[in-house]
Structure 1
Amino acid sequence: MDLRYVSGNNYQLTLTLYFDAINGSPGALDNDLTAGIFDKATNRSMQDVVLPLVENTYVAYTNPACTSPSLSTRKLVYRSVVQLAPTTYNGAQGYYVAVERCCRNNGISNIVGPGESGQTFYLEFPAVLRNGQLFRDSTPRIFPPLSDYACLGELFYYDFGGQDPDGDSLVYELATPLNGYSSTRVPKPATATAAPYPTIQWGTGRGEQNQIPGTPTLTINRRTGRLQVRPTELGLFVFGIRCSEYRNKVKIGETRRDFQLKVIMCPTNAEPTITAQAQVGRATYRPGRDTIRLVPGGNPCVRLRFTDADNASALSLSLQPVNFTGPLPSISLLQGMVRAAGMPDTLVSQLCFPTCFDTKGQVYYLNVIVADNGCSLPKRDTVQLAIIAQPVPTHVPVLTSVPTLMQDNSTPLVIRVAPGSVYEATLTATDADNDPLTLTAAGTGFDMAAAGMRFVPTNGNGRATGLFRWEASCAAALLQQMEVTFRVQESTCYPQPQVQVVRFEVVSPDTLAFLPPNIITPGNHDGKNDEFTLPTLPPDFCDNRFATIKIFSRWGNEVYSSADRNFRWDGGGRPAGVYFYLIEYTNKRRFKGMLTLAPAYQ
């Protein structure tokens, strides 16, 4: 079973039942089952939930070619939505769900009275309100079905682990299946009985840690859920697994699984074999003794030979890195058939490491695995390669420009240009290794094209050039500081890009110092300082334009105004004395000053 949080107080309760379509009784295929929810601390019944059958399908074999008429499994899914209110489900020890149903298959070999033994499907979940806080949890789910059989005397393995949608830790262990209180007399109880539940009775020589006769007997990996057994007896065997759920190292729930494994007599299947040869003409690679050394300019490939003693055996290769991550070598032939009509006895493949493979001074281990198509599970052979690979030496590319945009410190170079001007620079990148080079230019937080900038690169091996052109405009002036990152990138194993950041600014054209006159003498008619004019007034700059000039008497009365930047004021017949002027631009920039109007005798 699994309990999945949906929304609000709604949870989805699902029971997935794998039904033995060969040995199971057709009358036991129910249209619905009833689950009981109980308080774990008191075993008090909280509610009953009817789970209708919503799915009925057959489970496929891992390898369809291994299909056996003695094993057929149906997947039955029962599901319903249940409400778990925080005001009700807040018990400190949590809750459990149980579904009881009788009976098990008569043909089960490892328990006493299988045809009279019941089943109890069991799930624990935490309170939805813990320490006054909502606690959302979806229990582990998506456990794979066990649709395969095991072969007598052959190692059987299966990844039986589940997934947790909350990322909680899962721990797997063997558990004795629960029998419960259902019986042949009452095979399908209307409601489940509260715990504790009696367990099944193991047959002679069997127990929780020895559920299936084998060497080794059934085991499960605590962290991965991988099952393993080498059966020593034929038969149909039931086994139990408990999956505990932990969050922050605290157990919050568990899920129990009962399953069956059928052990049959299988045709003899020989193991495939694989060997490696580091270089043509050299002896066979010896795992544990030899090391493959990859050097620049050397042969990066290993020859693989793999075969199988069985007739018409389909073989496939796979790679498994042991102590590293990153790009894996390529394989020229991944699969093929041996010892069939028109087919060779041995297959040959080339395993080639990428040019950039670098073990960083360590020994990397790579498993090369060959698997056959034997039933019920393929057999494998592994050759472990030990590799030391040296990196290809490389030089750092050099980036230059005319005029210079490069400098040796981290402070961006600043280029200032007046609006309407055009700025051009040619960038050149070179590489001593003749590696392919790519030049790029990118604006930081602005569109280069909208700012009037264009960069046209010509990339190549060992050399790349790029023309940068900027038509400075008033639109660019609104962007204020614009930073462009020029980058040269080499296509090599371990690229070392070179970067230069340049800041571009649109500035006002240079002008003479603005020094307005502070006295005019219109009354003496000597042709000097007869009028108040401002020929050195700062020029208009994009949207920053001259707006107006106003002249005031010493008492604050406006005596003159003009919106013409080429204005001329001769005093207008005003009496001599001190006046004040105010010049305003459209961007609110102001100039203020004092002007003396001299008497006529001067």
Structure 2
Amino acid sequence: MPNSYSFFFSKRLLLLLPFLFLLRTGQATHIVGGELELQYRSGNTYRLTLNLYFDAINGNRSAEALSLTASIFAKTSNQRMQNVRLPRVSDTFVAYSNPACTIPSLSTRLMVYTSDVELPAAVYSNPSGYYVAVESCYRNNGISNIVNPGGSGQAFYLDFPAVVRNGRPFINSTPHIFPPLSDYACRGELFYYNFGGQDADGDSLVYELATPLNGHCGAGNTMPIQAEPLPYDPIRWLPGFSEQNQIPGAPALSVGRTTGRLEVRPTQLGLFVFSIRCSEYRNGEKIGEVRRDFQLKVITCSSNTDPSVQVLKPGTRTLYQASRDTLRLVEGSNRCLNLRFTDSDPASTLTLSLSPVNFSGLLPTLSTVQGTVRTPGAPDTLASQLCFPTCFDTKGKVYLLDVIVADNGCSLPRRDTVRVAFTAKPEPNTAPLLTTSAALPLRVHLGDVVTFDVVATDPDNDAVTLDMTGRNFTPANLGAQFTPGAGTANTSRGRFSWRVTCAAVGTSLYEFVFTAAASPCAERQATTVVIPIQVEYINGPPVLTSTLPPTEPNATAVAVVRRPLGGTYEATLTALDIDQDALVLSATGNGFDLAPLGMSFVPVNANGRAQAIFRWEPSCEAVARGGLEVTFRLQEASCSPRTITRTVRFEVFSTDTASFLPANVFTPNGDQKNDFFELPSLPPDFCGSYLASIKIFTRWGNEVYRTTNRDLHWDGHGLPAGVYYYLIEYTDKKRFRGTVTIVK
């Protein structure tokens, strides 16, 4: 099948597909090639894309498929895991690398098939991994290097690891591969193309030649609906061809092991099929393999001579000799080389480019990068100037730089290269200068405002930046600001301002670091100035005095104030602060409000001094509550505030209770003297405390008398002489116990 070539590509986890074309046995579909990508989306979802290339000149449009199917198998068992349907989403033409080299017998269309595929971890977890296979029948009849090409099939294969490893997701996306290829090769001229990929996961890719797979296709077989599992037979090479001599040439076809760059200088005309195996490694472990099946057409092209480029030493007309010369670029030296480039072919468009060999980063500049020679109105030789930046620094090493001229020949440009060896030292550069208007030493107090200016200049007129940091602190947290001001190309200025607040208290010294930086030659040069600011702050504790008991302000025990009903209790509190900080006196009832319980607290708060008067009118409510606790608090409003608290318990007592002391002997003998047991000093009813009962017991606990009458006159009721016990109870659970003796 003349004037066509085919290329197929498949990659780890890329699900290559059977071509479901409407063909009869033995008919070629004119598929030029294809490549697959599998990109991780999210969760268990991957996006599978097949780029399929079709011969737009000789291809049978009726052989095109609206969708394709891919088959996935388990490696250990060959179990079919799933088939994946891919619909076609676009159909466009592929451009030549150089459109001027287009020939009418070679035109390619790109058809894209894509769909999302689910690879759940619960299913794709076998540590041995999985593989994808696609089988197609048949190859082009015009292939020049295999036996019976029209009766040979294609089996595209890749394997990929489980999507989960050690219980965690093992995510991987395939590389983005080279752009679509529509070029041809010329006999006797070097053909080269970059088949290398860029892997989003940073995995290492290794390339090598492999024998294309034939699969299960053969005589009498029709186009398979789905792929069969392993094994797949390889194609058979014609005599003189082999895995290492797939396209004969000087040199024969080769692929860069780590770059994926293909090279061949073919010596035979024809259509040649070849295959490349790409292995993917992560952390030194192989995690996948993919095969690329490819076809390249070799034709006879018009003769094209190589262009030439010459490099002149700086400031001379002497040619640079790559084999013996090393340029040494030092301070004050001429850093520019003159270049001359030409081509003996008429109307050649030449392009200059630079390719670093053993370094990366900064490159010299070219004054002219393209021009046409040997055409009316154009010169025979073009000139350009290559200049190294003054920043260039090889750090004592010899750098190698390829100066390349390429023509616009077909199918690929012819080139000439001069490799320039050089060492370079950058021009000396002075660090920026930094000045400040701060008057050192700086000692500040609370409330002070500190301001000063900072100016940075660069003696070499480099752009300079200026910033502020704090040594072991963040200036913004203190309210310190550094505001940029107007500057010039080599000057930067700013103003520092800081109102000292309580945020600064706790650390006595703050060191503000100002840095002026310039980056000549992409290497940062900086000058710093440290401005120390001493914060002077001493806070004496306030002093609280009062007429509350006890008078010691720091007493930890709860003081008790006991008063009878009626009257008013009054206490004064006075607070002083030598630092004149704001003082606040307050009083809080523990579990109650002051006013409803007859209490008041009137403070007069001010800076440096506070006074308050506390008043209490004792009532039965205090008795019912079992006492009232009030917490008095002095709060200082300062950067390191002190708090003084006093808790006092207020109780109400009955004055009659203290005088209750009944007689303990009586003589019921009828002599009218001490004939009765009486309780004349029995405490009266008080604040809800009422007499409940008076009981008298024998020594054995037998009750012999009971009454609720507080006017007691007990004569013993004829009981024998001896000791008896009394129990007096009130309604509030208050009790009095004692003994009384009957004497006869």
Global fold match (TM > 0.5) = yes
Q: Does structure 2 conserve the Cα–Cα contact (< 8 Å) formed by 1:119 and 1:178?
A: yes
Report whether the alignment pairs 1:585 with 2:645: no
Is 1:564 the counterpart of 2:599 in the alignment? no
User: How far has the Cα of 1:439 moved from its partner?
Assistant: 6.4
Percent identical among aligned pairs is 50
Query: 1:217 is matched with which residue: 252, 266, 273?
Result: 252
Question: SS of the counterpart of 1:381?
Answer: strand
Using the TM superposition, give the Cα deviation of residue 404 of structure 1 relative to its aligned residue in structure 2, in angstroms: 4.5
Q: Distance in 1 between the 2:357 and 2:214 partners? A: 43
Tell whether the 8 Å contact from 1:439 to 1:486 is kept in structure 2 after alignment. no
Could you tell me how far apart the structure 1 residues matched to 2:55 and 2:604 are?
102
Deviations 1:215-273 (A, max 9, x none): 11111111111111111111111111111222233322211121110001111111111
Instruction: Give 1:121 deviation, angstroms.
Output: 2.1
SS at match of 1:497: strand
Cross-structure match for 1:349: 384
Structure 1 match to 2:674: none
Q: Is the aligned partner of 1:374 residue 2:409?
A: yes
Q: Is the 8 A contact 1:234 1:264 kept in 2?
A: yes
| Worse overlay, 256-265 or 321-330 | 321-330
User: Which of 448, 466, 479 lines up with 1:440 in the alignment?
Assistant: 466
Q: How far apart, in 2, do the equivalents of 1:568 and 1:232 lie? A: 109
Matched, 1:489 2:526: no
Cα gap change, 1:534 to 1:82, in 2 (>3 Å): closer
Aligned with residue 292 of structure 1, among 305, 308, 327:
327
Residues in 1 aligned to 2:79 and 2:544: alpha-carbon distance in whole angstroms: 101
Alpha-carbon distance between aligned partners in 2 of 1:207 and 1:40, rounded to the nearest angstrom = 28
Distance 1:461 1:86 in 2: 58
How far off its partner does 1:370 sit?
0.9
Question: Structure 1 residues 501 and 592, CA, compared in 2 at 3 Å: closer, same or farther?
Answer: farther
Q: 1:398 to 1:118 in 2, by over 3 A?
A: closer
Does the 8 Å CA contact 2:364/2:386 hold for their aligned counterparts? Answer: yes
- 2-side partners of 1:294 and 1:457: how far apart? 39
In the alignment, structure 2 segments of 5+ residues that lack a partner are 1-9, 16-37, 548-571, 588-598, 615-631, 647-744
Going from structure 1 to structure 2, the CA distance change for 1:268 and 1:396 (only over 3 Å counts) comes to same
Query: Of the candidates 169, 187, 196, which is equivalent to residue 204 of structure 2?
Result: 169
After superposition, what is the alpha-carbon deviation per residue over 1:81-116, rounded to whole angstroms, capped at 9, x for unaligned?
443344433334322222222111111111122122
- What TM-score results when the alignment is normalised by the length of structure 1? 0.80
**Counterparts in 2 of 1:135 and 1:153: CA distance versus 1, 3 Å:** same
Structure 2 residue 66 is the aligned partner of structure 1 residue 66: no
Q: Which residue of 1 aligns with 2:725?
A: none
Mapped partners of 1:571, 1:13: distance in 2: 86
One-letter identity of the residue aligned with 2:604: S
Counterpart of 2:156 in structure 1 is 121
Indicate if the aligned counterparts of 1:150 and 1:231 stay in contact, CA closer than 8 A: yes
1:500 aligns with 2:539: no
Contact 1:397 1:497 in 2 (8 A): yes
Q: In 2, are the aligned partners of 1:23 and 1:105 still within 8 Å (CA)? A: no
Q: 263-272 or 128-137, which moves further after superposition?
A: 128-137
Please give the residue correspondences for 1:133-532 in structure 2 after superposition, counting only pairs within 5 Å: 133-183=168-218, 185-404=220-439, 415-419=443-447, 421-427=448-454, 433=459, 435-436=461-462, 438=464, 440-442=466-468, 451=479, 453=481, 455=483, 459=487, 466=493, 468=495, 470=497, 472=499, 474=501, 484-490=512-518, 492-493=520-521, 496-502=525-531, 504=533
Taking structure 1 as reference, are residues 263 and 503 closer, same or farther at Cα in structure 2, changes over 3 Å only? same
Deviation larger for 308-317 or 25-34: 25-34
Q: Deviation of residue 571 (structure 1)?
A: 12
Task: Mark the CA change 1:81 to 1:397 in structure 2 (over 3 Å): closer, same or farther.
Answer: closer
How has the CA–CA distance of structure 1 residues 112 and 341 changed in structure 2, closer, same or farther, with 3 Å as cutoff? same
Name the aligned partner's letter for residue 470 of structure 1.
S
Distance (Å, rounded) in 1 between the aligned partners of 2:105 and 2:578: 103
Contact 2:477 2:503 in 1 (8 A): no
Q: Secondary structure at the match of 2:240?
A: coil
1:39 alignment partner, one of 74, 94, 97: 74
Contact 1:437 1:488 in 2 (8 A): no
State the 1:135 CA deviation: 3.2
Shift of the 185–353 alpha-carbon distance from structure 1 to 2, 3 Å rule, reads same
Following superposition, the deviation at residue 204 of structure 1 comes to 2.0
Amino acid at match of 2:515: R
- Contact residue 429 and residue 437 of structure 1 kept, 8 A: no
**Is the alpha carbon distance of 1:300 and 1:101 closer, same or farther for their aligned partners in structure 2, counting shifts above 3 Å?**
same
* 1:544-591 C-alpha deviation (Å, 9 max, x unpaired): x322399xxxxxx9999531347598999xxxxxxxx97531354247
83 and 570 in structure 1: CA distance in 2 versus 1, 3 angstrom threshold? closer
Letter in 2 for 1:498: T
Aligned partner of residue 115 in structure 1, secondary structure: helix
SS of corresponding position for 2:145: coil
Provide the C-alpha distance between the structure 2 equivalents of 1:36 and 1:112, rounded to a whole number of angstroms: 27
Alignment pair present for 1:537 and 2:572:
no
Instruction: Classify 1:343/1:390 alpha carbon distance in 2 versus 1 (closer, same or farther; 3 Å).
Output: same
- Identify the match of residue 110 of structure 2 among 75, 78, 83: 75
Displacement of 1:376 after TM fit?
0.5
Do structure 1's residue 546 and structure 2's residue 583 form an aligned pair?
A: yes
Identify which range, 155-164 or 183-192, moves more after superposition.
183-192
Which amino acid in the other structure matches residue 118 of structure 2? Q
Structure 2 CA distance for partners of 1:278 and 1:186, relative to 1, 3 Å: same
SS in 2 for 1:392: coil
- How far 1:514 moved relative to its partner? 8.0
Assess, with a 3 A threshold, how the Cα gap between structure 1 residues 104 and 586 changes in structure 2: closer, same or farther. Answer: same
The whole-number CA distance in structure 1 between the counterparts of 2:118 and 2:612 is: 93
